[in-house]
Structure 1
Amino acid sequence: MAREKIIIEDINITLERKNIKNMYLRVLPPNGEVKVSAPLFVSDKDIIDFVRLRKEWIMSKQKLILENKIQSPLKYADGEKHMLWAKEYTLKLVSKNDLKEALVDWENKIIYLPVPSRSKRETREKQLYELYRKELKRAIPPVLEKCVKIVGQRPSEVKVRNMKNWGNCRLQDRRVTLNLKLAKKDPECLEYVMIHELCHLIEFNHGKKFKRLMDIYCPNWKEIKKRLNE
């Protein structure tokens, strides 16, 4: 495979010539990088024409990526950056023989993941998520007690799992469940979500009454919610 950098119509392009049959074009996050894969036999003119015909689409895609701050899919690879309590840490993959579970070097901002030498992405992701789970469980007890005093409501239990929402509350058994990925966010976000779910023990819906409760118990909740969802 041959790779080179070229410019077509003022667009910076990474061109890869491969043993393939057709040409392909991709615009990638987070900076809108343009990559073109072309068969070995295709001429420079054909590549230029291929890009020119798609210039408008390329510009539109780049604008979408940059304006929405779309990030590249995570690979959980060695050297990749990941967030823990709103701070950036570098992943370091190590042998399972040297380490039994994920470990954080807080001073040097490194997360060590024990994974097989030829591990799959899913395996690495699972190891990191288990670290998030452990960190969140460690952080919950003092936050729970603080928020119970604020709201005046106590859940029957607080569970942690990977889910789409940041949290949910079951009125039937007063159980609160929190998203383990809260461990990636500022600790203030954990307090906000906890207060949010405890308020549901008073008012289940998100109507005016619920919002008044949030205004009382977490005056800056709108600003925290915005940061949480960024």
Structure 2
Amino acid sequence: MEINGINITVQRKNIKNMYLRVLPPEGSVKISAPYFISDDAIIEFVNSRMDWILDKQAKIKNKEYIPPLKYVNGEKHMLWGDEYNLQLISNNIKTAFVKENTLYLPVSKRSKQKNRQKTLEDFYRIELQKEIANIYDKCTGIVGMEPYEVKIRKMKNWGNCKQNKIITLNLNLAKKPKICLEYVFIHELCHLIEFNHSKNFKILMDKNCPNWREIKKILNS
């Protein structure tokens, strides 16, 4: 149906409530609605959310759409801030590697997407472990503190530090420039002194990583 000049795709389902979505890359609007809801009720619902719909469409239009990764040949992947073309190769080789502008991923011919993803993430983990080892003494020497353990995993935050002195770093840091890893590691080491983001914590960051604000912008870009 068309409401106020906007085409709405309506899908009837065996559900209790209506659900509205605005989807990239075109900003198309879709509604899932119960069988018992009338068209008039759907129109009223859409009109009540019209400001939100238009705002969402504008944000999608102004932001470059990034499709979900499929881990196929020619796809772009990042390593330490540089972009590489993915190339699937025979899994006779044990681990992924880069050469010039290509990231070679050893997988079986019939591998599924989740298997290719895991192989690449294993490679990122190895790369991150190597770089952590490279910067460990430098960063702990700057802050004057050492963690009990450093872990790596996928998570929402770039890093965290527990009161048991265990620091965890985000696996995706391997995709960012190496200076970002150094900044995040110093950030978490400072939490061993100030377990918050207070004024004193920012003073510590200014002392131990003077350009941390600029690096943070690079990290989150």
- Distance in 2 (alpha carbons) for counterparts of 1:199 and 1:149: 12
TM-score (norm 1): 0.70
- Distance in 2 (alpha carbons) for counterparts of 1:33 and 1:102: 37
> Is 1:229 aligned with 2:220?
yes
2:163 aligned partner: 171
> Is 1:88 aligned with 2:83?
yes
Q: Give how far 1:135 is off.
A: 0.4
Q: 2:69 aligns with which of 74, 80, 100?
A: 74
Runs of at least 5 residues in structure 1 that lack an aligned partner in the other structure: 1-25, 35-55
> Is 1:201 aligned with 2:192?
yes
Q: Give how far 1:142 is off.
A: 2.3
Report if aligned partners of 1:162, 1:181 keep a CA contact under 8 Å in 2: yes
1:75-126 Cα deviation digits (max 9, x unpaired) = 1111100000000001101122x32221221xx2211112222322211111
- Distance in 2 (alpha carbons) for counterparts of 1:66 and 1:76: 26
TM-score (norm 2): 0.73
Aligned residues: 181
Q: Give how far 1:171 is off.
A: 1.8
> Is 1:152 aligned with 2:144?
yes
2:101 aligned partner: 109
1:131 aligned partner: 123
- Over the aligned positions, Cα root-mean-square deviation in angstroms equals 2.6
Relative to structure 1, is the Cα distance of residues 59 and 121 closer, same or farther in structure 2, using a 3 angstrom cutoff?
Answer: farther
Report if aligned partners of 1:160, 1:179 keep a CA contact under 8 Å in 2: yes
Relative to structure 1, is the Cα distance of residues 175 and 138 closer, same or farther in structure 2, using a 3 angstrom cutoff?
Answer: same
**Identical pairs, percent:** 55
- Distance in 2 (alpha carbons) for counterparts of 1:161 and 1:192: 17
- Distance in 2 (alpha carbons) for counterparts of 1:125 and 1:161: 14
- Distance in 1 (alpha carbons) for counterparts of 2:56 and 2:139: 43
